[in-house]
A and B are shown apart, each in its own frame.
Chain A
Amino acid sequence: MSHAHHDSTPSLHVHPKDMAKIRKIWVTAGILAFVTGIEFLCAFTMHRGAFLTSIFVLLTFVKTFYIVGEFMHLKYEVKILIWSIALPVMFIIWLITALLMEGGYIFVERAAIFN
């Protein structure tokens, strides 16, 4: 490990392009564009409601997986780093549940007062 580093030399050794890696980037981009396209299609062809909303949420998670996993490279990090980032998201899920229920409750109470 004690061989000389090139810290003082001005130019670094340029490696050749890794075509497999670059192709994977474009494939991921294609998937993201495709999923967004499906979301658009659903928005204009399907009736609004809980089913459509759950499709949107599901597809958003698909996109999240590709952006965080591939583009941000988290999929290839060590396990402890993946979990340190992924686990705290639990708090967000709790907040969604709590505040959406709270919102529904406010709606009911308001309706009871004003109607």
Chain B
Amino acid sequence: MATAAIDNNKNLWGGGVEPMKASYGKLMMWFFLLSDALSFSGLLITYGMIRYSHNAYEGLVDKFVFSDTYWPVPEKVFTHIPFTHTPFPLVFVGIMTFILIMSSVTMVLAVEAGHRNDKNDVQKWMLWTILGGMCFLGCQAWEWTIFITGSETGRVLFDGSIFHGANLRANEYGPVPFADLFFFITGFHGTHVTSGVIINIIVFYNTAIGTYEKVGHYEMVEKVGLYWHFVDLVWVFVFTFFYLV
């Protein structure tokens, strides 16, 4: 043991040293997240590019009506919250943002509990995180339903037919790519949240049956924590560039 340690000091390439002071698994998670950040950037930048290649709405926000001759003002599209017919622009998305940020907080608390080897606390906070993730997914399903169903008035398309809501070929809100990008970007993010929830459930299960106690540390909680925060971070960007700008 002792000679091996000395050899390692002589030759850094011999293995057994951590130049980044992080384990292999954690580093790989970081670099995976970096590549995932590039994927999401690709999608969001595509949104920017397509939006720039369309007419912007120049008039007053109050006078805004849906048309495919200009890009819609997002706060005029996302106005519904469940159980009411009064328009509340962006409030539902705001609630979703709040839910996701809160689940990120409970995730850090789970990681903190993991550092202290506190099995009960890890379980408690993992459960809250899973619950938050599921609430978010539920809200997103609702949001998609509202978007796909559309308004009662709808919009007259170029061929004279009235169209309600949205699909990949037509939508009442604006140019066709607007709905396409909505489905792709929020869908890709929702897929990430779904896999995050599944991974969180697996980690919760492993915590409950004492796997990490046997391993001797709770680093896996930290690794899925990184993934979960990343998903939260992506939502922060989707929120800004899809709903606010």
A22–B245 contact, CB under 8 A? no
Which of B9-17, B33-41, B130-138 lies at the interface with chain A?
B33-41
A112 close to B (CB within 8 Å): no
B90–A78 contact, CB under 8 A? no
> Contacts A11-B213, A18-B112, A18-B116 given: A36-B94 contact, CB under 8 Å?
yes
Measured CA separation A16–B112 after assembly (Å): 11
- Flag B30-65 by CB within 8 Å of A: 1 or 0 each: 110010011001100110111111110000010000
A36–B97 contact, CB under 8 A? yes
Interface size class for chain B? Answer: 35 or more
Measured CA separation A22–B115 after assembly (Å): 12
B51–A103 contact, CB under 8 A? yes
B20–A80 contact, CB under 8 A? yes
B230 close to A (CB within 8 Å): yes
Interface of A is mostly: helix
A6 close to B (CB within 8 Å): yes
A interface size (C-beta, 8 A):
59
Which of B98-106, B149-157, B159-167 lies at the interface with chain A?
B98-106
- Interfacial chain A residues near B90, Cβ < 8 Å: 40, 43
Measured CA separation A60–B244 after assembly (Å): 11
- Flag A1-42 by CB within 8 Å of B: 1 or 0 each: 010011100111111111001100110110011001001100
> Contacts A29-B105, A106-B53 given: A15-B48 contact, CB under 8 Å?
no
B206 close to A (CB within 8 Å): no
- Interfacial chain A residues near B230, Cβ < 8 Å: 72
Total cross-chain contacts (CB, 8 A): 148
Residue of B nearest to A6 (CB): B216
B201 close to A (CB within 8 Å): no
Measured CA separation A100–B50 after assembly (Å): 8
Which of B140-148, B190-198, B231-239 lies at the interface with chain A?
B231-239
- Interfacial chain A residues near B50, Cβ < 8 Å: 103
A51 close to B (CB within 8 Å): no
Residue of B nearest to A43 (CB): B244
B105–A95 contact, CB under 8 A? no
B52–A103 contact, CB under 8 A? yes
- Interfacial chain A residues near B226, Cβ < 8 Å: 72
Apart from A43-B75, A96-B41: 7 A-B pairs, beta carbons within 8 A: A16-B116, A59-B240, A68-B229, A80-B19, A85-B30, A103-B50, A103-B52
